[in-house]
Structure 1
C-alpha cells in the first residue's frame, strides 16, 4: 500500500476516534468545547511519521491487511500530541505547526474573557490537562484498535517502553538546558531517548511486535531505525536554527531563543574560538533574542564549522540506516516504503 494512502487511512482513523470521544466530553460541559477545538487544530497538522513507521514495521514483519493496525498506529499521533503540548509548556514556545501553542491559546482565551487571576497559569494548566487527556486517549485508542488480545499484549510492552523512554529523554533535555552545557555525547544521549527511539525505532518495533516478529526482524529494524532516528533529530536541530518559519511553523531561530543544548550547538562550541564561544553562550537562551541576534548566532555556528559537522553526521547516520535497510530480511514492498520514509525523515524542511 502506498505511503500516501496510509496517511489518508491514519488521518481517517485518528479523526474518527476523536469524533467518538467528542460527545462524551461535551456531555460533561459545553465549557470543554475549547479543549476539543484546540486538539482539532493541533491534529490537523503533522507529518504522521510515527504511525507510518509503525505500519511499515508491521509489514516488514509479515503483517497482512488486518485493518486494526491502522488504528493502532494512528494512536501514536495522540501520544505525539501529548508530548508536543507538554514540550511547548516546558519550553515556553509561542507557536506550534504555524499556530499558537495550546498554552498560549488558552492564555489568550483567559485575557479575552476578562477572567480574574493569572492568564499564564491558566494557559499552562489547561495545556497540561489536555496533554494528559491525549496521553490517556492514546492508550484507549490502542486498546480498542480492533487487533486481537494476543497481538495487543505483544505490542503493549513496546508501547509502555516507548512512553517511558520519551519522558526520560524529555527530562534529560531539560537537565542539559538547566546545566547550561552539553557535550556532543550528552546531546546525543538526549537525541536517542527523546527522539530517535520515540520517533522511529519504537514505532517500528511496535508494528513488528503486533505482527509477531521474530528477533531477527526486530534486530534489523533497530539497525535501520536507530541511526535514522538520530539523523531525523539532527535535521530537526538544523531546522530549529536555520529553518524557514513559513515551512517549519515556528519563529526563526526558536531553538536558540529557547536555549536548546543540541548536538549542533555542542559541535559549534567544540570548534569555537574564545570570543565565538563567549558570544554563543551569552546569547543562547535569551527569550528576547531578536532577528539580528539570531543572525549573529547563525553566523557563529556556520563559521565554526558546527553546521557542516552536523550535516556530515546526518549523512553518516542516514548512510548507516540505508545500508542496514538494504540487507534487512524485509518484503520488497516494506523495504521500498521504508526507503521513501528515510528520505522524508532526513531531507525535510518542516
Structure 2
C-alpha cells in the first residue's frame, strides 16, 4: 500500500456514506412512487446532507494510524485487502464524526472545524434561514433532536462499514469485536466526562487523576488504542500476545494527544483550531490543566477559579475566561502540562520501539510504524524531561488499569 493521505480517506468516506445513505432514500419495494414524495423525507435529506458535511475537514489521524500500522506489516501487494483496510479506517473516522456531533450537543459548542456545528446547521434549516456560515441564535428542539439522531445514524453506519470491510480481511470476527468494544469504551468515557462536571475542585490531585481516567476512556480508546489494534488485526496479527503492549502504547499516545488539545484551548488560535478558544473554561470542564492550575495558583487565585467554575455557565464572561487563561500560563500550569506531554512522548517512543521489535518489522515497516506513532506526539522529547516519566507512571497507572479491565470485559 502506498502512503494513504487524508484526502484519500475523506474521498472514500464520502463514497461509503453516500452509498449507505442511498439505501435510506431508495423507493420501498412494492411502492409505485419514491419516498421523496413523503413529507417527512425533508428531514431525512437534511440529516443525510449533514452526515456528509460533518465528516469533512478533519486531519484523519486515526485513519492514517490504522492504515500505516497495516502497511508496516503487510508485505504482499493485495489490492482487495488494501481497499478493505482503507474502508476500515474510514469506518473509524465515521464513528469519530458521530462522537463529535454528540459532543457538540452535550457541550453546547457552536462551531466545529470552522463551520456551524451539525445541530445548529439543522436548526437553521428548520428556521429557513440563509444557509451561509452565519450562526443562528441557538439550537432549537428540532435541530437538537435531529443532531442526536444524526450522531446515532453515523455510529450505526460506521459499524456496518467496519463489518463489511472486515469480511475481506484476516481476523474478521476479532475486528468486529474490537470495533464494537471501542464504541462501548467511548460512550463510557462520555458518561464519565459528564460526571466530571460535578467533580469537586477542592482536591487538585484527585481531580487530575479523575481527568486522566476519563481521558483514557473517552479519547485514547478510539484515537490511538483502537487504530493500533485494528491495524494489527487487519494485517492478520494475533493480538493476544501483544495486547498489553498495544494498550500501553495507545494510552500514552492518546493522553499526550488530548493534553496537547487541552493546551490549545488556552494557548491556541480559534482561526486555526476551528473552535472558540477558552471553550473548556467557559463550559467549566474539569481538565488536567485545571487541576494543575488549582494546585499551583495562590490560595486567593484558586478560590476565584473555583468560584467561577461553580457559577452558572451563562455568567462566565469573556473577561473571566481570559483571566483564567492568563493564570494558567502565569502560575506554571501550562508549562507543567508541556512537561507532562514531553514525558509521555519519551515513554511512548520507547514503547513504540519495543513493539516494533516484538512484531519483527522490516526496516521499512519499522520506519512507517514509528513515524505513524510520532504524529500524536506534539512536543519533542528533551533530556530534561526524562525524570518526569516516573511521575506520569503514577498518574496514568490507574487510568490504564481501569481501561484494561473495561476492555477485557467487552472483548
CA distance, structure 2, for counterparts of residue 149 and residue 312 of structure 1:
40
Query: How far apart in 1 are the matches of 2:215 and 2:376?
Result: 15
Q: Report the equivalent of 1:300.
A: 327
1:48 maps onto 2:68 in alignment = no
1:207 aligns with 2:231: yes
Q: How far has the Cα of 1:177 moved from its partner?
A: 0.9
- Distance in structure 2 (CA, Å) of the matches to 1:105 and 1:14: 21
2:10 paired with 1:11? yes
Provide the rounded CA distance (Å) in 2 between the counterparts of 1:11 and 1:119. 27
* TM-score, L = length of structure 1: 0.90
Partners of 2:365 and 2:224 in 1: CA distance: 15
Distance 1:290 1:319 in 2: 38
2:256 corresponds in structure 1 to 231
Q: Give deviations 1:199-224, integer Å, cap 9, x for gaps.
A: 00111111212323134444443343
Displacement of 1:237 in angstroms is 0.8
1:70 alignment partner in structure 2: 86
**In the alignment, what sits opposite 2:95?**
79
Q: How does 1:1-350 map to 2 (within 5 A)?
A: 1=1, 3=3, 5-27=4-26, 28-29=35-36, 30-31=41-42, 32-62=44-74, 64=76, 65=78, 66-67=81-82, 68-112=84-128, 120-145=140-165, 147-148=167-168, 151-181=171-201, 183-214=207-238, 215-284=240-309, 286-327=313-354, 328-329=356-357, 330-347=361-378
State the 1:155 CA deviation: 0.7
Contact 1:267/1:309, CA 8 A, preserved across alignment: yes
Give the C-alpha shift of residue 22 in structure 1.
3.5
Partner Cα separation in structure 1 for residue 139 and residue 242 of structure 2: 51
Distance 1:258 1:338 in 2: 37
TM-score by length of 2: 0.77
Equivalent pair of 1:258/1:287 in contact (CA under 8 Å): no
Instruction: Name the CA distance, whole Å, in 1 between partners of 2:93 and 2:315.
Output: 32
1:2–1:302 CA distance, 2 compared to 1 (3 A): farther
